[in-house]
Amino acid sequence: MERNVLSFGAALAKGYEPRLYPYDANRIQEGEYEAILDFKIWAKKIMAVGCYFTLLPAKEKVQLTVYCDKKTGQYKLPKSEIDFTCCPTSNMYKISIGKKKSGNTYLQNAALINK
């Protein structure tokens, strides 16, 4: 599968609005959700992919980050087979959002839902 992560400029050129997707831990509730992966953007200063989801049914927009595994060079979550550099966008996923001891939110798990 071909990589489909956008640069920030390319995302804006395609009409996406990253600023509408908060990553503030106080605004993102932990839990399990069905969500649409709207688009993905390469992180600017770290080796990571910013994933922009719309949580359903409330249509709440959130940004969650998937980091590069330094040992494998892959952008996968520990318990998931999804490669976030090439997974499909505009599709439904079942995601789990957790909170670290620091209070920051993170993407714990994700699975593509075939609907």
In this model, does residue 92 exceed pLDDT 70? Answer: yes
In this model, does residue 2 exceed pLDDT 60? Answer: yes
Band of residue 115 on the pLDDT scale cut at 50, 70, 90: low
Q: Which of 104, 97, 96 is nearest to 24 (CA)?
A: 104
User: Does 2 map to a domain?
Assistant: no
Judging by beta carbons within 10 Å of its beta carbon (0-12, 13-18, 19+), is residue 36 exposed, middle or buried? middle
pLDDT in tens, 19-73: 999 988 888 889 999 999 999 999 999 999 999 999 999 999 999 999 999 999 9
CA-to-CA dists, residue 13 to 8, 9, 16, angstroms = 9, 6, 7
User: Does 27 map to a domain?
Assistant: yes
How many whole angstroms separate alpha carbon 72 and alpha carbon 38? 26
User: Does 3 map to a domain?
Assistant: no
User: Does 55 map to a domain?
Assistant: yes
User: Does 85 map to a domain?
Assistant: yes
What number of other Cβ atoms are within 10 A of residue 74's Cβ?
Answer: 11
How large is the average pLDDT for residues 74-81?
91
Q: What's 96's domain CATH number? A: 2.40.50
Tokens 């770290």 sit on residue: 46
User: Does 48 map to a domain?
Assistant: yes
Domain assignment of residue 12, given as a range: 8-112
Prediction pTM value: 0.93
User: Does 78 map to a domain?
Assistant: yes
Please give the share of the chain, as a percent, with pLDDT higher than 70. 99
How large is the average pLDDT for residues 89-106?
94
Q: What is the DSSP letter of 86?
A: T
Structural domain count, the chain: 1
How many whole angstroms separate alpha carbon 16 and alpha carbon 100? 29
- Note the pLDDT of residue 25: 82
Band of residue 79 on the pLDDT scale cut at 50, 70, 90: confident
